[in-house]
A and B are shown apart, each in its own frame.
Chain A
Amino acid sequence: MNKFKLMLLGASSLMLSAALPAATVQAENLTIAFIDALSGPFAATGLGSGRELKHAVEKFLNGKEVAGEKLEVEFLELDGKINPKESLVQLQNAISQGAKYIFHNSGSSVGHALVGAINKHNKRNPDNRVLYLNYGAIDPALTGSKCSFWHFMIDANVDMKVSALVDEIAKDKSVKKAFIIGQDYSFGKAFSAAAKKYLADKRPDIEIVGDQLHPIGKVKDFTPYAQKILRSKADVVMTGNWGADMINLAKSVKEIGTEANIYGIYAYGPGVSAVVGESGIGKLSIVTQGHINPPNTPEWAAYTDEFLAKHPGNDMSNERTVYGVQMLGEAFVKAGSTDPLKVAFALEDLEFTTISGDKVVMRGKDHQMQMPLQVMAHAKDGLKYDFDQSGFGVITTSSIPLENNTLETSCEMQRPS
């Protein structure tokens, strides 16, 4: 190529860019990282929620226009193995690849590690801050005593869920005795403490006839526990159990023939509803966020259908990923920037109507999303969306409005000036 041609090329491209300044919107690259368990025993949960998150990011953030620039989102999926150490390594990895927003779902221990590391990072690197969007690590301390300006919880925390669970139980005046059972680790203990506190507040007449912790993931046969529940003549069983511990508890309680109903917060979803199967019908209620059956709005049904068509054989069970992403997009527009500091301020007290019609607020005081919760029953009939093509799923039976879920916070937020 000779000099003349080069000059011509340069001149023409200059002319082109000069001629079309208004018509082309410049693209801005934005990197979002998802850190969760992508291998190991909890990979099914991690991969599932990651899939839903990616879909939402592609739909609502990719190509979104922010201050005249079109976002081009790069989505990183990093394996943190629900291990705080591994997750911190992946956080560094994400930051070095230019990620500004970190999404994470499971494991409160990981949540605490990420908050600590991000606090430090943002202090030391004011030009390169990151924001942590947490939609599943629901230890109340993360928006309480350990709250951080750089952390937002896009889910109801344990206290909120248990409070709502007790609200639901309190409605039934025939309930006289409650049995609390949980896994013997921080979460099970937090659940038990919250259950006792809210029962004492809301229905002091309900007698707590059992408060049992069992080794996590080690109990092969729940029959002795079920027998204890039977003997205690409990009307309701409250549990934070998840995974196999939840499934086997439900099966044993059903098998022994107690009248007690089980109230859980994780007793649904892919890999759970199908296995609980018949034993949960009429016995198992769940308090959680979002809508599954009925989908509540046509938009949410359409979105779910689109997701399922794109990912056949999978299920949609984490609605909060969708509005977490949408609210982030809203905050981008409000802040006119994707700078984490500006976006964090824009997210504070942001009110939003979710795709399924719920009104939610990201409370500025502690960055804890305030949201209505739904009571769902494990069911077989009348479902639009079941799990694992099993015919089993959940159906909303009642709603607990946002006002009833607003709890005090002990958060004393340190805000950057």
Chain B
Amino acid sequence: MLETVIFSLLNGLVYGLLLFLLASGLTLIFSMMGVLNLAHAGFYMLAAYFAYTISLYMGFWFGILLAPLLVGVIGGLVERYGLRQVHQFGHVPELIFTFGVAFLLEEVVQFIWGRDQLAYNKPEILEGALFTLFGADFPIYKMFMLIVSVLIFITLFLVLKHTRIGLIIRAAVGHPQVVGMLGHNVPLIFMVTFGVGTALAGLAGAIAGPVLGTYPGMASGLGGIMFVVVIFGGLGSLGGAFIASIMIGLIQTFAIAIDGSLADVLALIGIIVTEETFMYDIWSTTMPQVAPLIPYLMMVVMLIFRPTGLMGARES
């Protein structure tokens, strides 16, 4: 039992931090522009493909260094020449625009790299197990992911809390008009935030590619989870996004580790469920099967009881 807890804790943490890398940019973009960037997960995928291609010519390290930068630049350009043009027509066209970009990215990726999973592999130095815990190997690469994510979190936190740029960004998150009136170039701030946000998603993609697989479906479903992280953590709150990401990571990992179903719980209080029991399918569904649903359930509950999210300051 203990080994399951410790191992799930570690794995949940790795997955949660990866989610945070993805969601941190999204929450800033979302709260600043009021638009959910549906293409965010697409940039995550694009970076994994970039990193793969770069790694073929220049090695793994250049891959994870250059791919996020490239994706960040593309993200900035998409904001400057796409989103900003659509902005004047209101939020719905903006949303539809990012939806279109998401589709475009997926098709472009398949067009260039094909539909099969790519052999994007870890570098040899990160191969192998770091330590063995109760017979289970903990890979060096997971620790590498963990460290990178934590470093990014600390850097982001310091930049936002203790620098002048961070101050302006935080102000723009809450009151973009006022910041604009004070003479700051708000469109530029938007563009930079969008670029940095997509670059962070890109970093997540580049380091996740070798372990979670680099294939056209790698982003599918992630968009929804990121949305949950943003809502659950609270708009524009990095701290909230951090807690929400870790929570979702842990819950999903533990849900798979547990085998129980509602039927088992009912058995404890003396109700035996058989195939003839009313709504047998619901009682017999096991935790691992409902695991993907739990984050959405969390979001619904949060919206009912605390619409601002865990640490969000404003309601809209």
Cβ of A230 and Cβ of B135 under 8 Å apart? yes
* Of B114, B121, B132, B257, the contact of A228 (CB 8 Å cutoff): B257
Q: Quick check: is B227 within 8 A (CB to CB) of the other chain?
A: no
Cβ of B115 and Cβ of A43 under 8 Å apart? yes
A217-B220, A221-B212, A257-B135 given; A275·B4 CB < 8 A: no
User: Bound state CA distance, A272 and B115, in angstroms?
Assistant: 12
A227-B4, A228-B257 given; A270·B135 CB < 8 A: no
Complex contacts, A247 vs chain B, CB 8 Å: 117, 213
User: Bound state CA distance, A271 and B257, in angstroms?
Assistant: 30
Complex contacts, B116 vs chain A, CB 8 Å: 44, 270-272, 275, 388
A224-B256, A277-B119, A390-B119 given; A230·B216 CB < 8 A: no
Contact flags B197-235 to A (C-beta < 8 A → 1, else 0): 000000000001001110111101110000000000000
**Residue of B whose beta carbon sits closest to that of A230:** B136
**Residue of B whose beta carbon sits closest to that of A226:** B136
Contact flags A237-272 to B (C-beta < 8 A → 1, else 0): 000000110011001000111000000000000111
Cβ of B211 and Cβ of A244 under 8 Å apart? no
Q: Quick check: is A5 within 8 A (CB to CB) of the other chain?
A: no
Least Cβ distance of B255 to chain A in Å?
Answer: 8
**Residue of B whose beta carbon sits closest to that of A214:** B288
A41-B217, A227-B11, A228-B256 given; A257·B211 CB < 8 A: no
Cβ of A220 and Cβ of B7 under 8 Å apart? no
Q: Quick check: is A415 within 8 A (CB to CB) of the other chain?
A: no
Cβ of A221 and Cβ of B288 under 8 Å apart? no
Complex contacts, B136 vs chain A, CB 8 Å: 227, 230, 256-257
Question: Interface range on chain A: under 10, 10 to 19, 20 to 34, or 35 or more?
Answer: 35 or more
Complex contacts, B11 vs chain A, CB 8 Å: 221, 223-224, 227
Residues of chain A having any CB pair with chain B under 8 Å: 41-44, 184, 212-215, 217-218, 220-221, 223-225, 227-228, 230-231, 243-244, 247-248, 251, 255-257, 270-272, 274-275, 277, 388, 390
**Residue of A whose beta carbon sits closest to that of B214:** A275
Least Cβ distance of A7 to chain B in Å?
Answer: 61
Name which of B115, B118, B129 has the most chain A CB atoms within 10 A of its CB.
B115
Residues of chain B having any CB pair with chain A under 8 Å: 3-4, 7-8, 11, 15, 114-119, 121, 129, 132, 135-137, 139, 208, 211-213, 215-218, 220-222, 252-253, 256-257, 288-289, 292
A217-B220, A224-B11, A227-B4 given; A256·B212 CB < 8 A: no
Name which of B117, B129, B132, B257 has the most chain A CB atoms within 10 A of its CB.
B117
Cβ of A244 and Cβ of B213 under 8 Å apart? yes
User: Bound state CA distance, A224 and B11, in angstroms?
Assistant: 8
Complex contacts, A272 vs chain B, CB 8 Å: 116-117
User: Bound state CA distance, A42 and B121, in angstroms?
Assistant: 23
User: Bound state CA distance, A94 and B112, in angstroms?
Assistant: 31
Cβ of B15 and Cβ of A221 under 8 Å apart? yes
A227-B136, A257-B129 given; A212·B15 CB < 8 A: no
Complex contacts, A218 vs chain B, CB 8 Å: 220-221, 292
Least Cβ distance of B204 to chain A in Å?
Answer: 11
Complex contacts, B118 vs chain A, CB 8 Å: 275
User: Bound state CA distance, A44 and B119, in angstroms?
Assistant: 16
**Residue of A whose beta carbon sits closest to that of B1:** A231
Complex contacts, B221 vs chain A, CB 8 Å: 218, 220
User: Bound state CA distance, A277 and B127, in angstroms?
Assistant: 13
Cβ of A231 and Cβ of B220 under 8 Å apart? no
User: Bound state CA distance, A184 and B291, in angstroms?
Assistant: 13
**Residue of B whose beta carbon sits closest to that of A213:** B289
Q: List 19 A-B contacts (CB under 8 A).
A: A41-B216, A44-B116, A213-B289, A217-B220, A220-B218, A224-B256, A225-B256, A227-B7, A227-B136, A228-B257, A244-B218, A251-B211, A256-B137, A257-B136, A257-B137, A271-B116, A272-B116, A272-B117, A275-B117
Complex contacts, A248 vs chain B, CB 8 Å: 212-213
Complex contacts, B208 vs chain A, CB 8 Å: 220
Least Cβ distance of B291 to chain A in Å?
Answer: 8
* Of A212, A231, A257, the contact of B132 (CB 8 Å cutoff): A257
User: Bound state CA distance, A225 and B252, in angstroms?
Assistant: 11
User: Bound state CA distance, A218 and B292, in angstroms?
Assistant: 8
Complex contacts, B129 vs chain A, CB 8 Å: 257
Least Cβ distance of A182 to chain B in Å?
Answer: 12
Least Cβ distance of B25 to chain A in Å?
Answer: 18
User: Bound state CA distance, A54 and B257, in angstroms?
Assistant: 47
Least Cβ distance of A350 to chain B in Å?
Answer: 36
User: Bound state CA distance, A218 and B288, in angstroms?
Assistant: 12
Least Cβ distance of B128 to chain A in Å?
Answer: 9
Cβ of A212 and Cβ of B4 under 8 Å apart? no
Known: A228-B256, A277-B119. 13 other contacts (CB 8 A): A217-B220, A221-B212, A224-B11, A227-B8, A227-B11, A228-B257, A244-B217, A244-B218, A248-B213, A257-B132, A271-B115, A271-B117, A272-B116
Complex contacts, B115 vs chain A, CB 8 Å: 41-44, 271
Complex contacts, A255 vs chain B, CB 8 Å: 137, 139, 211
Least Cβ distance of A43 to chain B in Å?
Answer: 6
Complex contacts, B256 vs chain A, CB 8 Å: 214, 224-225, 228
Least Cβ distance of A92 to chain B in Å?
Answer: 27
Cβ of B119 and Cβ of A275 under 8 Å apart? yes
Least Cβ distance of A76 to chain B in Å?
Answer: 23
User: Bound state CA distance, A88 and B55, in angstroms?
Assistant: 44
* Of B4, B222, B252, the contact of A231 (CB 8 Å cutoff): B4
Least Cβ distance of B32 to chain A in Å?
Answer: 27
User: Bound state CA distance, A382 and B7, in angstroms?
Assistant: 38
Least Cβ distance of A229 to chain B in Å?
Answer: 10
Least Cβ distance of B58 to chain A in Å?
Answer: 21
Least Cβ distance of B297 to chain A in Å?
Answer: 15
User: Bound state CA distance, A87 and B304, in angstroms?
Assistant: 44
Least Cβ distance of B44 to chain A in Å?
Answer: 11
**Residue of A whose beta carbon sits closest to that of B110:** A41
User: Bound state CA distance, A344 and B7, in angstroms?
Assistant: 58
Complex contacts, A213 vs chain B, CB 8 Å: 288-289
A231-B3, A247-B117, A277-B121 given; A224·B253 CB < 8 A: yes
